[in-house]
């Protein structure tokens, strides 16, 4: 792959004695959409949190859009400007309106004029189909709406890469679809996406590649068609049999 935007080379990470990432080798192409699945504790959230250095790796090399992530604060800041992240919990400021939540980083960090920041914020709220809620406070919204606001907030910084860490796991079943629909729309717009999720329907419809992790290692990766139809490893088969039977 000539146009690699994220590259892990023999990346290792420990939490104390716990070896959470083991010799991770992974290249992600620009515009590629990857779904990462696996049992809890398999290291998948840690893997994507290393990409914007919310977690730091202790061994190996990790570069994002040509910048290697080390202790260099400038490099970390540069990478973070290009990487949007959406968490399980929405992490919105409850005392700010939806619009204020979206304009905070562009005006404070990006030094953008308020009017321009608001215009950009409204455009992103349109994109996630929630512009009519701009003047409300987060707690006046449903969970699905709050998560769409969180996605819009990440998009305000025009990231090249979007990371999703189990974005639907805190939602009620009827709200999951509205968030996944927004993510499906985004997937068609060329942003590089890495999504940790158990939503296998989403993986089937959107992913270019599905990665299965267990015990800190990438056990298997393939196109969605092959991954679901012909899993190669016993661990993958066992995982899929549990998750697809629900």
Residue 2, pLDDT above cutoff 70: no
pLDDT-derived band at 243 (thresholds 50, 70, 90) equals confident
CA 183, 194, 48, 124 torsion: positive or negative? negative
pLDDT of residue 188: 85
**Among 188, 197, 225, 198, which residue's Cα sits nearest to residue 209?**
225
Query: Strand (E) positions, the chain?
Result: 4-15, 18-29, 33-37, 59-64, 67-68, 83-86, 161-165, 192-196, 209-214, 217-222
Residue 38, pLDDT above cutoff 80: yes
Taking residues 70-91, report their average pLDDT. Answer: 92
Q: Note the CATH number of domain 4-88+161-244.
A: 3.40.50.300
pLDDT of residue 179: 92
pLDDT-derived band at 246 (thresholds 50, 70, 90) equals low
Summarize pLDDT for 156-168 with one digit per residue, the tens.
Answer: 888 999 999 999 9
The number of C-alpha atoms within 13 Å of 171 and in the hemisphere containing its C-beta is 25
Q: Report the run of H or E that residue 114 belongs to, with start and end.
A: helix 114-127
Residue 70, pLDDT above cutoff 60: yes
Q: What value does the mean pLDDT of the chain take?
A: 93
Q: Count of CB atoms within 10 A of residue 189's CB?
A: 10
The two tokens of residue 93 are: 């400021």
The two tokens of residue 109 are: 């960090």
Of the chain, the end-to-end C-alpha distance in Å amounts to: 36
Q: Count of CB atoms within 10 A of residue 120's CB?
A: 20
Taking residues 108-129, report their average pLDDT. Answer: 92
pLDDT of residue 244: 79
User: 164 - beta bridge partners?
Assistant: 86, 195
> Backbone dihedral region of 84: left (phi > 0), alpha (psi from -120 to 50 degrees) or beta?
beta
C-beta separation of 117 from 103 below 8 A: yes
Residue 1, pLDDT above cutoff 90: no
Summarize pLDDT for 44-61 with one digit per residue, the tens.
Answer: 999 999 999 999 999 999
Summarize pLDDT for 172-227 with one digit per residue, the tens.
Answer: 888 998 999 999 888 888 899 999 998 999 999 899 999 999 999 999 999 999 99
The two tokens of residue 139 are: 């707690």
Please spell the DSSP secondary structure of 124-150, one letter per residue. Answer: HHHHTT-GGGTTS-GGGS-HHHHHHHH
Q: List the chain domain ranges.
A: 4-88+161-244
Q: What is the pTM of this model?
A: 0.93
pLDDT of residue 110: 76
**Among 29, 22, 30, which residue's Cα sits nearest to residue 47?**
22
């Amino acid at each position: 792959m000539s146009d690699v935007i994220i590259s892990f080379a023999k990346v290792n990470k420990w939490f104390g004695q716990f070896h959470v990432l083991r010799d991770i080798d992974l290249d992600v192409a620009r515009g590629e959409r990857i779904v990462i699945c696996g049992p809890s504790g398999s290291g998948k959230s840690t893997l994507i949190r290393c990409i914007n250095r919310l977690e730091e790796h202790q061994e190996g090399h990790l570069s994002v859009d040509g910048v290697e992530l080390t202790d260099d604060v400038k490099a970390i800041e540069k990478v973070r400007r290009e990487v949007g992240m959406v968490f399980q919990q929405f992490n919105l400021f409850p005392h700010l309106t939806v619009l204020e939540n979206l304009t905070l980083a562009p005006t404070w960090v990006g030094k953008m004029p308020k009017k321009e920041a608001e215009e950009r914020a409204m455009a992103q709220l349109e994109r996630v189909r929630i512009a009519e809620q701009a003047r409300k406070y987060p707690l006046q919204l449903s969970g699905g709406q709050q998560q769409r606001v969180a996605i819009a907030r990440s998009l305000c910084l025009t990231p090249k890469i979007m990371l999703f860490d189990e974005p639907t796991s805190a939602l009620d079943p009827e709200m999951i679809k509205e968030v996944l629909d927004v993510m499906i729309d985004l997937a068609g717009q060329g942003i590089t996406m890495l999504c940790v999720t158990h939503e296998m329907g989403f993986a089937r419809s959107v992913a270019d590649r599905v990665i299965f992790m267990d015990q800190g290692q990438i056990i298997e990766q393939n196109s969605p068609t092959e991954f679901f139809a012909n899993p190669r490893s016993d661990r993958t088969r066992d995982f899929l049999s549990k998750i697809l039977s629900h």
